[in-house]
Amino acid sequence: MQFHGRNLRKGRFSAPNYIYHVTATTKNRNPVFSDFYAARTIIQTLKQEDVLSSTLTLSFVVMPDHLHWLFVLQNGELSNIVRRVKSVTSKKLGVAIWQNGFYDHAIRAEEDLIGTARYIVANALRSKLVEQIGDYPHWDCIWL
């Protein structure tokens, strides 16, 4: 199977103070983040981007084989920030874990931001990893 991650960059728009929903997938959908340490490592890396003032995280969920991340882009280019998050996580875990590219969606003002955040968090429920979101440890949302 051939993946075309480079095609995801076509038409990509990156602007400070815009809100983005980013989805990144592990290589071959390997469930890397089923491991508690690996999941906490990516979460720590996301939080570091907030500390660096690159992003302001609104919501995320770390699934076994992918990440959903909703954030305000504060400083830098979207592609560079996602590349850094993926690179730092791989280095900390000692192995290349990510599929090339990522999917992003700029949230328009008329979209339901809180609904989008809840949709992201509910991935763990829809995937039947847990029956109650409080039982899943790898998510956060500023509104919940």
The parent domain of residue 44 ranges over: 14-141
Give yes or no for a contact between 98 and 39, defined as CB atoms under 8 angstroms apart. Answer: no
Q: Which two tokens stand for residue 108?
A: 């328009």
DSSP H or E segment with residue 91 = helix 78-93
The pLDDT assigned to 14 comes to 83
Residue 5 located in a structural domain:
no
The pLDDT assigned to 11 comes to 52
Give yes or no for a contact between 21 and 69, defined as CB atoms under 8 angstroms apart. Answer: yes
Residue 65 located in a structural domain:
yes
Residue 117 located in a structural domain:
yes
Q: What is the pLDDT of residues 32-49, one digit of tens each?
A: 999 999 999 999 999 999
The rounded percent of the chain whose pLDDT value lies above 90 is: 83
The pLDDT assigned to 5 comes to 44
**What does the mean pLDDT of the chain come to?**
92
Q: pLDDT at residue 10 above 70?
A: no
The CATH number of residue 39's host domain is: 3.30.70.1290
Residue 9 located in a structural domain:
no
Please give the tally of structural domains in the chain.
1
The pTM of this model reads 0.89
Give yes or no for a contact between 121 and 133, defined as CB atoms under 8 angstroms apart. Answer: yes
Distances (CA, A) of 38 to 5, 32, 33, 44, 92: 23, 7, 5, 10, 9
